[in-house]
Amino acid sequence: MVRNLITKLEETFLSLLLVAMTLLVFAEVVMRFGFNSGIHWAQEMTLLLAAWFVLYGASYGIKVGAHIGVDVFVKLLPKNAHRFFTLVAIGLCLVYSGLLLYGSWIYLSKMKMIGIELEDMPIQKWMAMSILVIGFAMLIIRFLELGWKVLKHQTEGFGMHDEAEESMEIAKELKAMEEQERLEKERKDSDRGDRS
């Protein structure tokens, strides 16, 4: 129940970020080309919204298995080797995310100490860019969750999005629908023939 609520909140937050970014860009285009004026802070705000969307969305993508990856060689390995290489990959992702989290923390600490504001808005730069720390911390949490699931045999890997498999499933569904339509048409035609 709590997990579903958190997932819904994450999805809502990502949706709001995307809607806000889209509406802001639309309003800026209308103002600039329709009224020969503009929103002076729109570009900077759009970049910040995009950064929040990407970094927050990356951790959500790991949670739901939406990232695209190439695991054709790993799938050829035996189960234990597959798990081992998955854990190695998760470990490397943790190291990478940890390094970026550390660098982000140092960067934001210096921005706070200096007191720099954004160019177009009276907001402290460290506040606006806090998604760096939040995003990489969330990535670490997601990778730790995934590693735990792999260790507990609850999942085999990253749960990556497989576009080829999805396309094949859609093709099968379409073929089944076409076959059903053909059979219905033949049945209707035979019913008409029986009536004549």
- Is 161's pLDDT higher than 60? no
- CA neighbours within 13 Å on the CB side: how many for 37? 2
**How confident is the model over 140-147, as a mean pLDDT?**
92
pLDDT of residue 3: 81
pTM score of the predicted model? 0.73
Nearest to 123 by CA among 131, 115, 135: 115
Q: Given pLDDT bands bounded at 50, 70 and 90, which one contains residue 83?
A: confident
Q: What is the length of the chain? A: 196
**How confident is the model over 3-11, as a mean pLDDT?**
86
**How confident is the model over 1-23, as a mean pLDDT?**
90
The span from the CA of 109 to the CA of 130, in Å, is 10
The span from the CA of 1 to the CA of 8, in Å, is 11
Domain residue extents for the chain: 2-161
- Is 100's pLDDT higher than 80? yes
Q: Given pLDDT bands bounded at 50, 70 and 90, which one contains residue 160?
A: low
What percent of the chain stands above pLDDT 90?
39
- Is 174's pLDDT higher than 90? no
User: DSSP letters of 4-61?
Assistant: HHHHHHHHHHHHHHHHHHHHHHHHHHHHHHHHS---TTHHHHHHHHHHHHHHHHHHHH
